[in-house]
Chains A and B, each alone.
Chain A
């Protein structure tokens, strides 16, 4: 511990690069349609007054429009705002093209979200050119090989956290390095809340220990940080700020789930059942495609008054058929004590296990059932989703469009594989 207490800033040459596609969805739309370039546009979940803005363009951001605004509020700030619906296929294509370029430099490419990658050049020959030169080359290749309107911000540092911080210093189109030569100058100009993971509550925790600036944070001893966070987290923050790697972890997939914000305020279980069935069909298909079965289901409901109810259940037997998953989740829905207008529904399955061998049951022929489910999945895959569906789903039509989740990267496995 004595050595750790005196740990200096990591002196090694930075090899990690964090790359962030600026205003991703909006910029891609401007790339596709040149007539939208230079104009305030926003991609919103729904093109209705209460639709939530997912990505404002750089021009819209300059007018004060932010992610999470409602369309109606954004239109007050900018009456000429052009609002577009999301086009997930377009964004996935760009993600894959972006990834292909990065894989030319290193085999260690980690997607952090649909618009963010971490590139580790530690064992790469490309590092001989110089990491800043590689970053400039990648920026240029994105413009020539994917689209001239696309810009990325690049951060270079000895660890993932500082690389992400560096990528956020100058947006759009930035390129910044945080290393043992530059960290003090950069920390001087940062506020605590500029650090990813430090928001109001953590700021209060730090303030209570007399830490008010990033430099205070950096200079604080481990005991003080542990006391501020009341956990080992303080030690992790010490390492992060000193440029040592602590975030190089791969999180194993623990669940599959789908959610949906309802366009109408349904109340009864009869009204909610078709939507629930469709969510379960989507989740079940993804579960089976990834080769898993589950031993737990979870349902959560957010109501129009922003109250929340959720319940999960685990069981002894493994489920893979959407019909069985639906039965368990519908039972949960019937247990729900509230009868209020629903804002959103979310289902998930957990306690996953690879579907290698099917345990034969005395009560039903699971082998036959598995073959039938596989056959239906094959048909749905060949002819498009929901060609064969349970009758409960009748009437749901196209009301549950394809979406890309923000932040989570596990869903990206499904588009890469």
Chain B
């Protein structure tokens, strides 16, 4: 089931200077810690002049669409899915 939401979320973001890569490692969502096991896709878009980074990530139990607003560096979760049909 895919659930569209728009809520703040805590994200642990790693920058690896050797591989020059940035990726979320842990997510704290509704009191539960999720370890990111796979980055499906990282893409960006702009709303006005504000740049947003979108990380589509998978954890052992759920998929999250995480969005970072680069104006204030705040994170929100826009989608949660378990991969099953609605």
- Taking beta carbons and an 8 Å cutoff, which residues of A are in contact with B? 28, 31-36, 39, 79-84, 89-90, 92-94, 147, 380-385, 387
Contacts and interface: CB of A to CB of B under 8 A. Distances in A.
Given A90-B41, A90-B43, A94-B43, A35 B48 contact: no
B63 A82 contact: no
A384 B48 CA distance: 4
Contacts of B81: 33, 35
Contacts of A35: 58, 63, 81-83
Contacts of A385: 48
Interface of B: 2, 38, 40-41, 43-45, 47-50, 54, 56, 58, 63, 65, 81-86
Contact of B83 (A39, A94, A384): A39
A58 to B, nearest CB: 17
A39 B83 CA distance: 9
Given A33-B58, A382-B49, A93 B83 contact: no
Given A34-B58, A83-B86, A383-B48, 15 more contacts: A28-B41, A32-B40, A32-B56, A33-B58, A34-B38, A34-B40, A35-B58, A39-B83, A82-B2, A82-B84, A82-B86, A89-B45, A89-B54, A90-B41, A93-B45
A39 B81 CA distance: 14
A163 to B, nearest CB: 28
B2 A84 contact: yes
Given A35-B63, A147-B41, A80 B85 contact: yes
B43 A89 contact: yes
A161 B42 CA distance: 34
A385 B50 CA distance: 12
A90 B86 CA distance: 22
A189 to B, nearest CB: 37
A381 B48 contact: yes
Nearest to B42: A93
A383 B51 CA distance: 11
Nearest to A30: B40
B41 A31 contact: yes
Contacts of A80: 85
A382 B56 CA distance: 26
Top 9 A-B residue pairs of the complex, sorted by shortest distance between their CB atoms = A35-B83, A89-B45, A93-B43, A32-B56, A384-B48, A32-B41, A383-B48, A32-B40, A384-B47
A387 B48 CA distance: 9
Contacts of B38: 34
B46 to A, nearest CB: 9
Contacts of B50: 384
Contacts of B41: 28, 31-32, 90, 147
Contacts of B44: 89, 93
A396 to B, nearest CB: 18
Nearest to A91: B43
A281 B76 CA distance: 30
9 contacts: A32-B56, A32-B65, A34-B38, A34-B58, A35-B81, A82-B2, A93-B44, A381-B49, A385-B48
